[in-house]
Structure 1
Amino acid sequence: MYGKDSMKMAKIADKLAKKYNIDCIFTGQLIDLQKIVLETNNLIITAQHMDSLVPGRGMGHVLPEGLVDAGIQAVVLNHAEKPLTIAKLDATIKRAKELGLMTIVCADTVEQCRAIAELNPDCMICEPNTLIGTGNSSNEEYILETTKAVREVNSNILIMQAAGVSNAADVKKVMTLGADGTGGTSGIINAPSWEDKIDEMMSALVKFKK
């Protein structure tokens, strides 16, 4: 998603985040994010990647300072489509923290969740790579085990359980099992009405707001 569609989605999410008074993370193509920052007020605008470099040489890389200058507040790291080594992930999380960017780090297995929690990101998205975009959400055992693995290392890390979440029932399931939040992509994009789908999921989520 990009351009006008991305802006349309952002404005819908912005309106509903205000309606329900919840923290809503919105990611998008880097080239669209600065426009979205300027035209929304209630979203945590989030880059889908950044690099750990400092100003200087870096052709083709995503400079952390550039994100901050554009008004971006957070960054997703280590998504299944943009994986990082532990060394690169460690360095990138530290660079983000230097600049006050919220770090949202993806992890696949229970072992990965435990290892990445040691790097102390602000938030983790625990989701099996095999379920991303399938419409099938994680089973109860996975949600409980990954949540436990993260909390045993650092109880301050926020946990999102997100793979395949696409309706209110999925939201209720992951939140009841101990997640701090959830999200969706394909389930929203493929819905007949983006606004109705986001409203459905946010209305389910707000019942668990702390």
Structure 2
Amino acid sequence: MMTKIKKPFFVFNPKSYLYGEELLKLAQKADEMAAKYPEITVMVTVPFADISNIANQTENLIVTAQHIDGITPGRGIGHVLPESVYYAGARAVFLNHAERPLTLTELTKSMQRAQELGIETIVCADSLAEARAIANLKPTAILCEPTELIGTGQTSDESYITATNQVIKEVDENILVMQAAGISTPEDVYRTMKLGADGTGCTSGITNADSPIQMLEEMIVALNQAYQERG
């Protein structure tokens, strides 16, 4: 099982579009691609109820939780206990996504709990100012994704990608930068990586494709090609 995010990386984030057997098939394809391209970190974000199944039937992915709460074992019915997702097999987590936003206090607590357990953190930021603020919290990676572009098929423009890359690296050059707004084709993946991102990812571009498995494969191939060409 992979446990550390290294660049370049690709995240397949099926949100709540997939579950069970259909999700497993795509996760196993992602696992196959991760084995084929060991220099790429491949991640799949997984609904909580599917984490254990996916983790038990893959070897080369970083299985990623969609959220955790900043709580410790004890009271907290209906919350997401970090120890629970770790036990199930998740080794990374998304935090502060536009569909699951957190206050600064909540984000800080969730990140602290993740770091205590050795869970990698990918924290979402929808503006330059938010990216700068989050960088000071020292996540593993920051997903720079303007909320208004999510799911639109419209990618971030070159100036936004360049500016957010620069702002984050100025705070801490070790923080990985993920750019994924509107990614819907292998060409989008290629362009985004050529502009300097450490990683990218996709949801509906894969889940809504005629062949999700083929689209997933083509996107990872495109990421590898762009990163290799960057040298």
Per the normalisation by structure 2, the TM-score is 0.88
- Partners of 1:9 and 1:172 lie apart in 2 by 21
- Partners of 2:51 and 2:87 lie apart in 1 by 12
Please provide the CA RMSD for this pair.
Answer: 1.1
- Partners of 2:186 and 2:215 lie apart in 1 by 9
Which residue, 37, 52, 72 being the options, matches 2:70?
52
Q: Is 1:193 paired with 2:218?
A: no
Structure 2 counterpart of 1:37 = 55
Corresponding residue SS for 2:169: helix
Structure 1 counterpart of 2:9 = none
- 1:175-186 alignment to 2 at 5 Å? 175-186=193-204
Structure 1 counterpart of 2:13 = none
Structure 2 counterpart of 1:172 = 190
Q: Is 1:137 paired with 2:170?
A: no
Alpha-carbon offset, residue 168 of structure 1:
2.1
Q: Can you give the 5+ residue segments of structure 2 that lack an aligned partner in the other structure?
A: 1-17
1:143-185 superposed Cα distances (whole Å, 9 cap, x missing partner): 0111111111111101110011122221121111111010101
Q: Can you give the 5+ residue segments of structure 1 that lack an aligned partner in the other structure?
A: none
- Partners of 2:168 and 2:178 lie apart in 1 by 11
Length, aligned pairs only: 210
Q: Is 1:20 paired with 2:37?
A: yes
- 1:83-122 alignment to 2 at 5 Å? 83-122=101-140
Per the normalisation by structure 1, the TM-score is 0.97
Runs of 4+ in 1 over 4 A off after TM superposition: none
Contact 2:51 / 2:85 at 8 angstroms: preserved in 1?
A: no
**Which one-letter code corresponds to 2:142 in the other structure?**
M
Q: Percent identity?
A: 51
- Partners of 1:25 and 1:93 lie apart in 2 by 19
Which residue, 174, 177, 181 being the options, matches 1:159?
177
- Partners of 2:125 and 2:29 lie apart in 1 by 28
- Partners of 1:165 and 1:127 lie apart in 2 by 10
- Partners of 1:174 and 1:126 lie apart in 2 by 12
Corresponding residue SS for 1:148: helix
